[in-house]
């Protein structure tokens, strides 16, 4: 079954490639750490991102959406660059920017649910919902790692992510059911541009 929803097609292609970039970044991040628990957690998050990439590919195959060579090359480079940078950025910045990126990734999956619903398709709700929630769990882990750091208030002002600012409106302690997933990320959808 094919469809012609350009924003949804580009979102899926972007997510597929960006998930690998995230995995590469976490490989570098894990290498930059010394604490065994932190290394294990970052490796677990890396595995989550590989699994997201595989799930996104299943969706793309189902709707006969091709992988974007442009996104694959672009995000391969970005992922490798970020992973390498983690070795030189100290401790705070890799945790902070991982949290900021995860914060933005959450709504990517909820907005895909909106797009699928606009086509009358709800078969993908569960997998997209689970991936969005998993990204939120990642965001919270990174927040816990930086919330007491002295640099956070400054970075929060500049990069709009921190204790008081998030890139999504999901709250794990009062999570809507999958049936109400459309209530999430409405503002994000309006702001969203797929490049």
Q: Where does this chain touch Fe ion (CB under 5 A) — which range of 17-25, 57-65, 122-130, 175-183?
A: 17-25
Residue 145 has a CB neighbour count (10 Å cut-off) of 18
Among the listed residues 46, 166, 164, the one whose alpha carbon sits nearest the alpha carbon of residue 94: 46
Least spacing, CB of residue 3 vs Fe ion, in Å: 23
Min dist CB 142 to Fe ion, Å, is 9
Q: How far is the CB of 87 from Fe ion (least distance, A)?
A: 20
- List binders of Fe ion among 49-68 (CB under 5 A): 49, 52
> CB 195 → Fe ion: shortest distance, Å?
19
Stretch that binds Fe ion, among 13-21, 29-37, 73-81, 145-153 (CB under 5 A): 13-21
State how far the Cα of 45 lies from the Cα of 134, in Å rounded to an integer: 9
Q: Which is nearer to Fe ion, 3 or 81 (CB)?
A: 81
Nearer to Fe ion, 100 or 114 (CB): 100
Helices 152-159 and 92-118 pack at an angle, to 10 degrees, of 40
Nearer to Fe ion, 32 or 139 (CB): 139
Site string for Fe ion, 78-107 (x = CB under 5 A): ------------------------x-----
Residue 114 vs 139, nearer CB to Fe ion: 139
Cβ closer to Fe ion: 121 or 127?
127
Nearer to Fe ion, 52 or 114 (CB): 52
Question: Hey, which residues between 134 and 173 contact Fe ion (CB under 5 A)?
Answer: 135, 138
Residues that bind Fe ion (CB under 5 A): 19, 49, 52, 102, 135, 138
């Amino acid at each position: 079954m094919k469809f012609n929803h350009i924003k949804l097609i580009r979102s899926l292609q972007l997510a597929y490639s960006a998930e690998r970039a995230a995995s590469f970044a976490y490989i570098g991040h894990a290498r930059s750490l010394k604490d065994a628990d932190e290394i294990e957690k970052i490796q677990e998050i890396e595995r989550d991102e590989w699994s997201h990439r595989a799930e996104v590919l299943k969706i793309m195959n189902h709707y006969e959406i091709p992988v974007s060579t442009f996104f694959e090359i672009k995000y391969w480079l970005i992922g490798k660059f970020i992973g390498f940078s983690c070795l030189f950025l100290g401790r705070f910045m890799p945790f902070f920017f991982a949290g900021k990126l995860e914060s933005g990734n959450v709504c990517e999956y909820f907005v895909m649910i909106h797009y699928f619903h606009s086509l009358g398709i709800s078969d993908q709700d569960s997998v997209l919902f689970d991936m969005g929630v998993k990204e939120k769990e990642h965001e919270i882990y990174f927040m816990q790692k930086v919330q007491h750091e002295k640099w956070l208030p400054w970075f929060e002002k500049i990069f709009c992510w921190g204790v008081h600012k998030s890139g999504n409106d999901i709250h794990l302690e009062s999570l809507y059911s999958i049936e109400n997933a459309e209530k999430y990320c409405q503002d994000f959808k309006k702001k969203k541009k797929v490049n």
